[in-house]
């Protein structure tokens, strides 16, 4: 193993001998039982402790125990102050939430008429959702893209028809006015619309401040709060809709409270020290709105709302905040870490500041590449003389979300860990992997107003069929955890009837092509062989080809040196294949990236493979044709087919 001397220390510390920064994590021991049908049942040996019955308990607790502690800090900008902050304490948040709850209770709201919200993360957004859950009014956070990145508003109107909301809340009244009017019209609804700011002139949109009560209905608020329990619906959270129209997943108070306790038992450090998080993940996704928001509120921590995003164009805003704030837990997607690493490498003071308080690094939504993992580990040693644990997990909207999580013994690129306390994991054989089925108090009771989808998602023993594919890191050592192998929905069959595990093949291809490729799409349904669309990182490709930054994607894609590099890596990948189902025989560099507006990206930022193939049939015609010289063809040994 290679070693790395740490800068600015008297005694050299290496990757081999560097100690791990102390952090209390849950027991790595699991029970693994082979079932008569060939499946496995896996659970943590640590039982789930008792947990709260309602989310409002958390707000009450910290408003009493740490009233002046900063709860949420939002970065603000306006014409007078280009940069600023708005902070709200736990006491202020509780008082504002209760005042808003007074106002909400004057409207006809409830499970059949929830609050639909389209907004970017903000303090006022948080106050609306806290007010709603405090008195048992469900809310439904809807992806802003449904309104802002389309003109047909089909997903938005579908969401309104499914929910039949009693109120719609938007952060910017002018920005959302057209979309809301058209979508509500398509859904046949006329309901109150509230804007957090920027009310359009001469409109009937309600201002946010006017929702606040004056204290005269506080007894009504407390009476409503007393009726909230574990079975009460907290929110309807939409799936991405990548394979059809979005489904509304029922999230109860019991689900979210049990999952918050699961996370605390995963990392007891959360109870030892109030967490500080700098987070951009949107609250209409389960990672941001359930996991990260709950970590902060449940444990009395502080959340800095990151105005940036893990994209080259927007990451500068994240950097600006991270240069000021040292978090205790840092969560991001792998692309976010890839964007962060060069800045940590180049700036010693920033590196030492960033890692100063971090207890563990946490990534999700995609597999982290080994090069990214190794770079992070080296940087933690440079900055602190210690390795800082990097972990991932696995879950979904239907598990609120965490179901599996890593630890000191279940860690590494692509490792998603072991079941958290209270979670029963059933591993059902599927080709050379296992499908994950979940059962526990954090699992949804079903999909709102979709009995058919609900019934088809559960087996007779109450296990939820996730569609996620896993495999053992070491079958003889279950504490080493499980690896994510993709999703069943990504699979397809060739004309020979051979099934292709596209998700697993995609991960292998990304491993082989990083950092030259941002994403790949495996294609070949009802074809004779497997081929691939590659969405390059054009900056990395230009550097690899020795081209200047002014080179266009078309010029870069045509570069002989770059094409030779891609062909070499693709041949190495093909050499690991054992037959037609896992051997890529041709690939195409795609110049135009996937479009959110066209439905080619999910709200998580991942490629909607079916949507992309449906929108761009010309790419498939080119890729499966025999004459276009833009296609990279990999020589195939027919004896291996």
Domain boundaries, the chain: 30-45+309-455+465-487, 90-228, 491-640
Yes or no: say if 66 and 300 are a contact pair by the CB < 8 Å rule.
yes
Q: What is the dihedral of CA 369, 373, 375, 381, to 10 degrees?
A: 180
Average model confidence (pLDDT) for the chain?
91
Of 42, 539, 534, 9, nearest in space to 313 by CA: 539
**Cα gap 544→370, rounded to integer Å:** 19
Phi, psi of 74 (to 5 degrees): -115, 135
The answer to whether the 30-45+309-455+465-487 and 90-228 domains have the same CATH topology is yes
Q: Is the pLDDT of residue 257 over 60?
A: yes
The reported pLDDT for the residue numbered 534 is 96
| Residue 179 scores a pLDDT above 50 | yes
Residue 10 has pLDDT above 60, yes or no: no
Structure tokens at 293: 């928001």
Euclidean distance between CA atoms 317 and 295, whole angstroms = 23
pLDDT at 277 over 90: yes
Alpha-carbon torsion angle 51, 236, 458, 442, nearest 10: -10
Residues 6+ apart with CB under 8 A from 551: 542, 545
Question: Domain 491-640 is classified in which CATH homologous superfamily?
Answer: ANL, C-terminal domain (3.30.300.30)
Average pLDDT, integer, range 521-533 = 93
Mean per-residue pLDDT, 44-49: 96
What's 285's DSSP letter?
S
Phi, psi of 224 (to 5 degrees): -65, -40
Q: Which helix (H) or strand (E) holds 609?
A: helix 609-615
Does residue 440 or residue 611 have the better pLDDT? 440
Q: What is the pLDDT of residue 636?
A: 65
- Confidence at residue 201, expressed as pLDDT on a 0 to 100 scale: 87
In residues, how long is the chain?
A: 641
How far is CA 139 from each of CA 54, 112, 167, 301, 433, rounded to the nearest angstrom?
15, 11, 9, 23, 37
Work out the percent of the chain whose per-residue pLDDT is above 70.
94
The two three-digit tokens of residue 330, written as one number? 């840092």
The region of weakest confidence among 101-115, 187-201, 422-436 is 187-201
Nearest to 193 by CA among 160, 168, 161: 168
- Report whether 299 contacts 264 (CB < 8 A): yes
The one-character DSSP state at 288 is I
Lookup result for tokens 């039949």: 164
Strand ranges (DSSP E) for 244-354? 248-252, 276-279, 302-305, 329-332
Whole-prediction pTM = 0.88
Whether 4 has a pLDDT exceeding 50, the answer reads: no
Tell me the pLDDT tens digit for each residue of 377-410.
999 999 999 999 999 999 999 999 999 999 989 9
Query: Does the pLDDT of residue 193 top 80, yes or no?
Result: yes
Positive or negative, the CA dihedral 320, 321, 323, 329 is: negative
> Which candidate, 157, 114, 120, places its Cα nearest to that of 139?
114
CB count, 10 Å around CB of 209? 11
Query: Which candidate, 377, 371, 332, 370, places its Cα nearest to that of 355?
Result: 377
Residues 136-141, mean pLDDT to the nearest whole number: 98
Distances (CA, A) of 563 to 117, 542, 589: 46, 11, 9
Contact criterion met (CB below 8 Å) for 640 and 583: yes
Q: What is the mean pLDDT of residues 204-223?
A: 95
Q: What is the pLDDT of residue 13?
A: 57
Q: What pLDDT digit, counting tens, does each position of 306-333 carry?
A: 999 998 889 999 999 999 999 999 999 9
**In the CATH scheme, what is the code of domain 90-228?**
3.40.50.980
Dihedral of the CA atoms 423, 428, 430, 431 (nearest 10)?
110
Quick one: pLDDT at residue 3? 33
Model confidence band, residue 503 (pLDDT cutoffs 50, 70, 90): confident
Q: What are phi and psi of 517, to 5 degrees?
A: -120, 130
Handedness of CA 44, 49, 54, 55 (dihedral sign): negative
Mean pLDDT, residues 512-529: 92
The residue whose two tokens read 């296990």 is: 463
Q: What is the pLDDT of residue 274?
A: 97
Structure tokens at 22: 């102390």
Closest CA to 167 of 106, 96, 239, 93: 106
Res 603: pLDDT? 58
Superfamily classification of domain 30-45+309-455+465-487: ANL, N-terminal domain (3.40.50.12780)
Residues 6+ apart with CB under 8 A from 334: 363, 365, 366, 367, 368, 369, 372
Give the single-character DSSP code of 589. E
Assess whether pLDDT exceeds 90 at residue 369: no
pLDDT score at 246 = 85
Residue 86 reports pLDDT greater than 90: yes
- Helical packing angle, 502-513 and 560-575, nearest 10°: 130
pLDDT-derived band of residue 9, with 50, 70 and 90 as boundaries?
A: very low
* pLDDT attached to residue 137: 98
């Amino acid at each position: 193993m290679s070693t790395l001397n740490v800068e600015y220390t008297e005694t050299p510390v290496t990757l081999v001998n560097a100690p791990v920064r102390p952090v209390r994590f849950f027991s790595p021991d699991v029970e693994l039982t082979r079932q008569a049908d060939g499946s496995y049942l896996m659970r943590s040996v640590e039982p789930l402790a008792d947990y709260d019955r309602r989310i409002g308990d958390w707000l009450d607790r910290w408003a009493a125990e740490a009233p002046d502690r900063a709860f949420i800090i939002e970065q603000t900008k306006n014409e007078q102050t280009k940069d600023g902050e708005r902070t709200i304490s736990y006491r202020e948040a509780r008082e504002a939430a209760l005042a808003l709850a007074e106002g909400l209770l004057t409207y006809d709201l409830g499970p059949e008429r929830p609050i639909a919200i389209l907004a970017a993360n903000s303090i006022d957004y948080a106050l609306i959702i806290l007010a709603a859950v405090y008195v048992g009014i469900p809310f439904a956070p809807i992806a802003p893209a449904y309104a802002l990145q389309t003109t047909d508003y089909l997903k938005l109107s579908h969401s309104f028809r499914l929910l039949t909301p009693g109120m719609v809340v938007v952060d910017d009244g002018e920005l959302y006015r057209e979309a809301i009017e058209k979508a509500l019209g398509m859904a046949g609804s006329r309901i109150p619309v509230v804007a957090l700011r920027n009310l359009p002139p001469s409109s009937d949109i309600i201002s946010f401040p006017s929702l606040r009560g004056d204290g005269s209905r506080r007894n009504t608020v407390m009476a409503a709060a007393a009726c909230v329990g574990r079975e009460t619906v907290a929110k309807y959270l939409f799936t991405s809709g990548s394979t059809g129209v979005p489904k509304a997943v029922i999230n109860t108070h019991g689900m979210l409270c049990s999952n918050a306790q699961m996370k605390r038992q995963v990392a007891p450090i959360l109870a030892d020290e109030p967490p500080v998080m700098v987070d951009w993940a949107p609250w209409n996704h389960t990672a941001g709105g359930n996991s990260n928001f709950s970590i902060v509120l449940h444990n009395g921590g502080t959340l800095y709302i990151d105005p940036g995003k893990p994209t080259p164009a927007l990451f500068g805003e994240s950097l600006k905040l991270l240069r000021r704030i040292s978090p205790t837990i840092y969560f991001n997607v792998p692309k976010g870490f890839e964007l962060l690493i060069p800045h940590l490498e180049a700036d010693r003071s920033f590196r030492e500041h960033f890692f100063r308080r971090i207890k563990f690094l946490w990534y999700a939504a995609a597999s982290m590449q080994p090069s990214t993992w190794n770079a992070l580990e080296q940087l933690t040693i440079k900055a602190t003389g210690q390795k800082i644990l990097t972990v991932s997990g696995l879950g979904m909207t239907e598990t609120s979300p965490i179901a599996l999580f890593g630890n000191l013994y279940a860690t590494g690129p692509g490792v998603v860990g072991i079941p958290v306390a209270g979670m029963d994991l059933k591993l059902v054989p599927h080709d050379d992997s296992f499908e994950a089925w979940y059962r526990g108090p954090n699992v949804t009771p079903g999909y709102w107003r979709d009995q058919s989808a609900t019934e088809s998602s559960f087996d007779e023993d109450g296990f939820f069929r996730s569609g996620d594919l896993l495999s053992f890191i070491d079958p003889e050592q279950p504490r080493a955890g499980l690896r994510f192998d993709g999703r069943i929905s990504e699979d397809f069959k060739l004309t020979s009837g051979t099934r292709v595990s596209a998700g697993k093949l995609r991960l292998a291809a990304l491993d082989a092509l990083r950092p030259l490729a941002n994403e790949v799409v495996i294609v070949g349904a009802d074809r004779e062989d497997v081929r691939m669309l590659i969405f390059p990182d054009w900056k990395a490709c230009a550097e690899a080809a020795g081209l200047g930054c002014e080179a266009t994607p078309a010029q870069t894609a045509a570069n002989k040196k770059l094409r030779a590099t891609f062909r070499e890596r693709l041949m190495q990948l093909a050499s690991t294949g054992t037959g037609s189902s896992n051997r890529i025989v041709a690939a195409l560099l795609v110049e135009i990236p996937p479009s959110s507006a066209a439905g080619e990206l999910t709200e998580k930022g991942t490629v909607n493979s079916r949507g992309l193939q449906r929108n761009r049939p010309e790419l498939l015609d080119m890729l499966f044709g025999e004459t276009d010289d833009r296609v990279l063809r990999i020589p195939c040994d027919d004896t291996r087919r």
